[in-house]
Structure 1
Amino acid sequence: MNRWSTLCGAALSLCLCMPAHGDGGRRITAIVFEGNDVTRDEVLAREVGVQVGEAYDAQAVERSRLEIQSLGLFRSVEAVVEPDGEGVRLIFRVREKWYWQVYPRLSANSDGQNSIGLETRLSNLWGLNHSLRLIGRSRDTREDDRGRDVSVRASYVAPFLLGERDSLSVGVAHNVIPFEGAALYDETIDEVEAVATRIFGLPDRPSQGWSVGLGTVFRDHSVSDESVADSFGVTQALVAELGYRNEHDWIFSNEGRVFSSRLEVAKDDLLSDYSYTILRAGWEEGVLVGVRAHQQLSFGASLGLANNAVDRRALFSLGGSEGLKGYERRAFEGNSYYLAHVDFMRPMIWDSLRWTVGLELGNAGWDTRDLFDSPNLSLNLGLRFRPRRLVNFELELGFAIPLSGDDPRFYGGKVDRH
């Protein structure tokens, strides 16, 4: 009996002495950021879910470290705890990426289609995680009645510019297409867009969760000679966006779920010369599998629907790098499309270099009733390279096999991540 009393007493004493959160209940006396020569403290502090005066919780600190890393601005993020009197001093130590990228945008295929351009991306502007993207491009589509079209685009995204939850994005575009058929004229399309977004956040994760955006896009379509071609005029469309983000950035891979949708509506009796509707939606999910770091299964789907009684040209297309890589560029086009994919990726020599095998299924056309009658399949094999030092930059190179029986095609280019 005495032995059982002794054992029970020892167990009770041990339970009473155990720390509630793994560190003796010591309080956080200070939160400090180091290594953020460009990034402002307020950007990092926004992602931290612990506060000065709270009891130290190792799991909560790790969650905060991962949220800072998921901003995508840093090569590494380390959480360091130092004794500070009767409490602890919490240090988040970061190593920043390169925030200025300039690179060519080149593409070509066996059909003679080619594109040459330049992209400049400035990330983390003002140290506030704002981004500016500039793209200039000249393209030859090898269509009989067209010359080389030229386009220039610029976009600026400012998270939390309008408040603790509200962000702003703006963009402009200028496109010129020369027509060289029976009639010679230039078609010009100019666009200006602004969207304000409210991010509702997740617990201790303000940059994640559901988001709602509202804005407008102005579009002006004109031709150099209205005696040979019609000018569609101008539209002022309402833009509504709904998104969801619950994603972690592990530097060389991503885990989690991202959903995005956008509805664009213009009415001919409301500041517009004609009516149109465009709906886009997409969902992506990444799952880390197995014990190898950055071994990942990625899958998702996207769709688009459009209704435009004036412009009869296709708004959506599949084939080549735009989806269904095993087929020639713009092999399928129309005002509706769907595309689904599944990819498996595993690191090779370095974590930054992964081989990938994937399958794409999709179609594009003019009548939604025919979209699912003859789906197209593409089997893709390739390599992906994600440099540690660059923000939101990943390259893919490989070859794709169309399961329709055509010859394999090589593909390559930048992977646009959300």
Structure 2
Amino acid sequence: MMRSVSRHLPPRRLLFAAVMYSFLGVVRAEELHVVSDIRVDGLRRIAMGTVLTYLPIERGDTVDSTKAAAAVRALYKTGFFEDIRLDRQGDILVITVQERPAINTLKVTGNKDIQSEDLLKGLNENGMAEGDTFNRLVLDKMGQELTRQYQNRGKYNVEITPTVSRLDRNRVDVEIAIKEGKAARIQHINLVGNDKFADEDIIDTWESAEHNWLSWYRRDDQYSREKLSGDLEKLNNYYLDRGYVDFNIDSTQVAISADRTDMFITADITEGDQYKVSSVQLTGDTVLPKVELEKLVLVSEGQIFSRRLLELTSDSVVATLGNIGYAFAQVNPVPDIDRESKTVGISLQVVPGPRVNVRQISFKGNTRTNEEVLRRELRQLEASWYSQAAIDRSKIRLQRLGLFESVEVDTKPVPDRNDQVDVLYTIKETSSGEFQAGLGYSQDDGITATLSLTQRNFLGTGRTFSANVTRSSTSERYGFTVAEPYLTDLGVGFSYGVNWSKTRYDSDDESSYDSQQGSVSTSATIPLSENNALTVGLGWDTRTLYLYDGYYPPSYLTFLDNLGTNRIDSWTLRSGWSIDTRNDLLTPTGGAYYALSGEVALPGSDVTYYKLDADLRRYWRMGPTLLLARGEFGFGGTYGDGDQIGYPFYRGYYAGGVGSLRGFRDNTLGPCEYVTYYNDCRPTGGRIKTLAGLEVSMPGLFGKAAHGTQLAWFLDAGNVFAGTDTIDGEEVRASTGLSLRWRSPMGPISISYGLPIRQKEDDEIERLQFTFGSQF
């Protein structure tokens, strides 16, 4: 009987020793023998049939040393065994094996830079998963791969420590402990050979940057091989966009300090000479009249050569052809370089490819939303010519529903067909239903108790249903609203609602007064074009005002005296026109929203008045920042009998606070009147509102996980005025500061810190302002 081979030998020696001992055992009695039977000892998890499947020896075979060696190699190659021994008992071939242990649990700890799901997925793809056979070589190889990945992220101090714990029944627990350490910081970037441009101008757009005072936020000083590769491409583009056709990066050196915490980057470059464009021509099959495509060419003779303008030209031509069905169109710029005259002739070869139609449009991820809700937003239709503009527009319309966190679109060619594609929209649904019962706080109403139910996608139909009850120290509100966005196939929407509220006077809110009111309203939204919509609504409201002499501004009491009653009933007609080109409803990063609206109390109402309002917002994405410019304008007046009664003060405009001019106390700006009880001038509201603002925000400050969270610098300006004859530029107020909007798990929070930069002596200043538990 042979002795087993030590499992502690290196794999190659182990195999060699096992084979040699096997040779001795098999051929000891005779050089050749016929195998009458095969027995495998030591199996626990591996089936006998599995071993025989891989074994190149069968019953009746004649075995010699060559076949014995091949058998051992074949069984080791399966990866199932740590030790293999071949013996002979008469004519029976006895194979004794020791199985590799099975992985009971696999755990990764200490990782932050790379998500656990990604790490486990990579381990699984390489044969390291719970239930698999444990292989130390695979574990060591994965440790080396993880180290490489972290070093690519600039973390050269990373420590990967795998621990294997033996269990009973030939099992092991595997734990990979990761100590990531800190990313090495870039201390210096040095460009050698740049005479035409300064270092700071070239590297201004790089993702990599030298350590600076903003590095804690930008993290641009953290070295990464991928980032540097992209930055070197930007370096190349920088010169090619400025005509340096012969530009070359001769070498790149990255040095690291002895303690592996500081990086030093050096790039040696050759700038070469600047070239101009000698000629530009479109060639190939342009499909459309050549004159139409030539209008899209941004490069002209005599210009300094620019690869960026060539790429923009190619993209424009491809997009134009893509909108008429040529989904695979290409434009290949072919340069003709004349190094003697320092010029470049450019031939733009148009290759349209086959005209393509869309075979099928499908959706993925809509577990709650009916497909009808999605399809009615599509502008690309099945069995019609492919249009990239229509596909992109469909994506934006889906995003503007406000029901999805993200929408992605993918176009896939149909197998064996070059004239058809399938379009797949992958959506990630966000919570469209809310049931809220809790407490909130705002500086207007103090502590607020709220019970509300809102479903913006009722039963997956896209309809909105909401009901709410709100009570605070100064108010009670009850109501419900139902909205149907597609009453007809043409996209006409319809909504109605009923509300009742009771407001009590609060000395901290200088615009408040005692009142009770109820209202019923209906409205219809009629789309006029892709981005334009008309809204028409009719409502009835009744309110009862409780005002006392000496406690309220004299104009309030005069209004009720002229009216002759403290109950006011009104029929109101509302209409509006809006243009909405925003790319997202909840967190827009581009586009605009312009809305004009009007409200008029119809003849027969107790008070006949009208209001005109404008709300203008424009968004620009500028690198990592978002710029918002906004303006709000309003004008109110009376007609008919309302001229004698006066403009209803409860429909007046107010300014100051989070919603208008931050840094000033809520509703304290604008006209005011002396009130005897307070011996003070109390705000009365105005008939004219002028507000404007700028915001520069950083949407990605808190990462992708904090979707909808923004930190912004703002500049607010404006005021409200009693009438046109009181408008005075000296009365305009302005403030600046920072604001944070956060959709926290406990509810929306808006915090701002404003510093008035234009104010009057009597203005009430309130720098820190916030709301919790209300929408922003």
Report the equivalent of 2:460. 127
Aligned counterpart for 2:738 among listed residues 371, 375, 381: 381
Matches within 5 A, 1:77-226: 77-82=407-412, 83-86=414-417, 87-103=420-436, 106-109=440-443, 114-118=446-450, 119-140=452-473, 148-178=474-504, 187-202=515-530, 209-222=531-544
Deviates more, 1:55-64 or 1:312-321: 55-64
Q: Does 1:366 align with 2:722?
A: yes
Say if 1:89 and 1:69 are closer, same or farther in 2 by CA, change over 3 A. same
Whole-Å separation in 2 of the counterparts to 1:139 and 1:186 = 14
Whole-Å separation in 1 of the counterparts to 2:465 and 2:286 = 57
Secondary structure of residue in 2 paired with 1:78: strand
Deviates more, 1:169-178 or 1:373-382: 169-178
Q: Contact 2:442–2:772 (CA<8 Å) still a contact in 1?
A: no
Q: Does 1:316 align with 2:653?
A: yes
Q: Does 1:266 align with 2:601?
A: yes
Whole-Å separation in 2 of the counterparts to 1:65 and 1:222 = 48
Say if 1:84 and 1:415 are closer, same or farther in 2 by CA, change over 3 A. farther
Whole-Å separation in 1 of the counterparts to 2:545 and 2:637 = 22
Q: Contact 1:237–1:265 (CA<8 Å) still a contact in 2?
A: yes
The offset of 1:321, in angstroms, is 2.0
Give the strand-richer structure, 1 or 2: 1
Deviates more, 1:57-66 or 1:338-347: 57-66
TM-score by length of 1: 0.78
Secondary structure of residue in 2 paired with 1:331: coil
The offset of 1:288, in angstroms, is 0.8
Whole-Å separation in 2 of the counterparts to 1:412 and 1:12 = 62
Secondary structure of residue in 2 paired with 1:52: coil
Q: Does 1:41 align with 2:371?
A: yes
Q: After superposition, give the CA deviation of every residue in 1:2-33 in whole Å (9 maximum; x if it has no partner).
A: xxxxxxxxx85999xx9932174343221112
Report the equivalent of 1:396. 750
Deviates more, 1:399-408 or 1:37-46: 399-408
Q: Over aligned residues, Cα RMSD in angstroms?
A: 3.5
Report the equivalent of 2:406. 76
Report the equivalent of 2:567. 232
The offset of 1:345, in angstroms, is 0.6
The offset of 1:361, in angstroms, is 0.6
Q: Contact 1:29–1:84 (CA<8 Å) still a contact in 2?
A: no
Say if 1:312 and 1:92 are closer, same or farther in 2 by CA, change over 3 A. closer
Q: Contact 1:43–1:128 (CA<8 Å) still a contact in 2?
A: yes
Q: Contact 1:300–1:342 (CA<8 Å) still a contact in 2?
A: yes
Instruction: Give the number of aligned pairs.
Output: 378
Deviates more, 1:275-284 or 1:86-95: 86-95
Q: After superposition, give the CA deviation of every residue in 1:282-304 in whole Å (9 maximum; x if it has no partner).
A: 111111112x3xx2100111122
Q: Contact 1:262–1:281 (CA<8 Å) still a contact in 2?
A: yes
Q: Contact 1:313–1:334 (CA<8 Å) still a contact in 2?
A: no
Aligned counterpart for 1:22 among listed residues 309, 324, 328: 328
- State the AA in 2 paired with 1:344: V
Whole-Å separation in 2 of the counterparts to 1:250 and 1:179 = 36
Secondary structure of residue in 2 paired with 1:65: helix
Say if 1:13 and 1:116 are closer, same or farther in 2 by CA, change over 3 A. closer
Q: Contact 1:117–1:135 (CA<8 Å) still a contact in 2?
A: no
Q: After superposition, give the CA deviation of every residue in 1:31-87 in whole Å (9 maximum; x if it has no partner).
A: 112221222222211222222223445554334223322322112222233435523
Whole-Å separation in 2 of the counterparts to 1:14 and 1:382 = 51
Say if 1:14 and 1:198 are closer, same or farther in 2 by CA, change over 3 A. closer
TM-score by length of 2: 0.44
Q: Percent identity?
A: 18
Q: After superposition, give the CA deviation of every residue in 1:253-272 in whole Å (9 maximum; x if it has no partner).
A: 431111122211124xx332
- Structure 1 unaligned blocks of 5 or more: 1-10, 141-147, 203-208
Q: Does 1:286 align with 2:619?
A: yes
Secondary structure of residue in 2 paired with 1:51: coil
Whole-Å separation in 2 of the counterparts to 1:113 and 1:251 = 25
Whole-Å separation in 1 of the counterparts to 2:632 and 2:621 = 22
Q: Contact 2:689–2:720 (CA<8 Å) still a contact in 1?
A: yes
The offset of 1:225, in angstroms, is 11
Whole-Å separation in 2 of the counterparts to 1:14 and 1:234 = 67
Say if 1:63 and 1:383 are closer, same or farther in 2 by CA, change over 3 A. same
The offset of 1:126, in angstroms, is 3.3
Say if 1:79 and 1:231 are closer, same or farther in 2 by CA, change over 3 A. same
Say if 1:350 and 1:178 are closer, same or farther in 2 by CA, change over 3 A. closer
Whole-Å separation in 1 of the counterparts to 2:584 and 2:464 = 18
- State the AA in 1 paired with 2:502: V
Whole-Å separation in 2 of the counterparts to 1:401 and 1:311 = 33
Q: Contact 1:398–1:412 (CA<8 Å) still a contact in 2?
A: no
Say if 1:325 and 1:36 are closer, same or farther in 2 by CA, change over 3 A. same
- Structure 2 unaligned blocks of 5 or more: 1-282, 288-320, 330-353, 508-512, 549-556, 639-645, 670-684
Report the equivalent of 2:770. 411
Deviates more, 1:330-339 or 1:83-92: 83-92
Say if 1:200 and 1:84 are closer, same or farther in 2 by CA, change over 3 A. farther
Aligned counterpart for 2:703 among listed residues 350, 359, 362: 350
Q: Contact 1:327–1:409 (CA<8 Å) still a contact in 2?
A: no
The offset of 1:139, in angstroms, is 4.3
Say if 1:77 and 1:328 are closer, same or farther in 2 by CA, change over 3 A. same
Say if 1:375 and 1:160 are closer, same or farther in 2 by CA, change over 3 A. same
Secondary structure of residue in 1 paired with 2:381: coil
- Flag the structure with more relative contact order, 1 or 2, with Cα contacts below 8 A and sequence separation at least 6: 1
Deviates more, 1:148-157 or 1:209-218: 148-157
- State the AA in 2 paired with 1:43: V
Report the equivalent of 1:243. 578
Secondary structure of residue in 1 paired with 2:382: coil
- State the AA in 1 paired with 2:327: H
Q: Contact 2:740–2:750 (CA<8 Å) still a contact in 1?
A: yes
Whole-Å separation in 1 of the counterparts to 2:606 and 2:586 = 47
Say if 1:84 and 1:169 are closer, same or farther in 2 by CA, change over 3 A. farther
Q: Contact 1:196–1:213 (CA<8 Å) still a contact in 2?
A: yes
Whole-Å separation in 2 of the counterparts to 1:163 and 1:233 = 39
Whole-Å separation in 2 of the counterparts to 1:170 and 1:371 = 37
Whole-Å separation in 1 of the counterparts to 2:651 and 2:694 = 26
Deviates more, 1:34-43 or 1:112-121: 112-121
- State the AA in 2 paired with 1:123: R
Whole-Å separation in 1 of the counterparts to 2:740 and 2:690 = 25
- State the AA in 1 paired with 2:376: R
Give the helix-richer structure, 1 or 2: 2
